Each structure stands twice: as C-alpha cells, then as structure tokens.
Amino acid sequence: MLRLKGQDYLTPAEYHDRKGLSAELVRRYCRTGRLEAVKVSNRWLVRADSEPIDYEPRIKTGLYVGLNDLRAGKIDLFLKKRGIIIS
C-alpha cells in the first residue's frame, strides 16, 4: 500500500488480493475509468477504498445459444438448437 496526498493506493495485484477481481480486470477498469486510479509512470495505482462502477459478476447459464432466434420469434429453431423436440 502506498499513501499519496492523504489517500491510500494499491497496485492492481494488491487490489486483486483484497477484492477478488483479476489483476487484468483491475487494469482494464483503470483504463476505462471504472475505478478511481492514477497512472504513475507506467503503473496503475488504485484508491484502496474505490469500488468498480457498474460491476456485475457474469452469470454463466448456457442460454445464449440461439438467443437471437428467440428474439426474432423463431421459437421452434431456438428449441431445436437446444435439442428440445416438441411433437
């Protein structure tokens, strides 16, 4: 942890250890402004009390295959791609 101007900052790896996000995701959030961070030389420093803006963990459901077919109203094709056959 580093203290600058009265604020505590962490490297992306330290932030990863505390919050459970991958270090690469932390760097991406720094680049896009989703985390309060500063770039010193070529390294990111993230405010220790910063939380990602609009972070939602990804939920893997497996329901994305043929989802465009469902949206287009092709329900039979949607079910066929999932192996569901209705007689």
State the alpha helices, DSSP H only, in 1-87.
12-19, 23-32, 67-71, 75-81
Q: Considering the domain boundaries, does residue 78 fall inside one? A: yes
Mean pLDDT by 10 residues, the chain (87 residues): 83 90 89 89 90 64 61 74 71
In a shared domain, residues 10 and 41: yes
In a shared domain, residues 43 and 6: yes
Q: pLDDT tens, 56-79?
A: 555 555 555 566 666 777 777 777
Amino acid at 64: Y
In a shared domain, residues 42 and 15: yes
Query: Nearest 5°: phi and psi at 13?
Result: -65, -40
In a shared domain, residues 43 and 65: no
In a shared domain, residues 37 and 66: no
If one counts the domains in the chain, the total is 2
Is the pTM of the predicted complex or chain greater than 0.85? no
In a shared domain, residues 62 and 43: no
Domain range spanning residue 72? Answer: 57-87
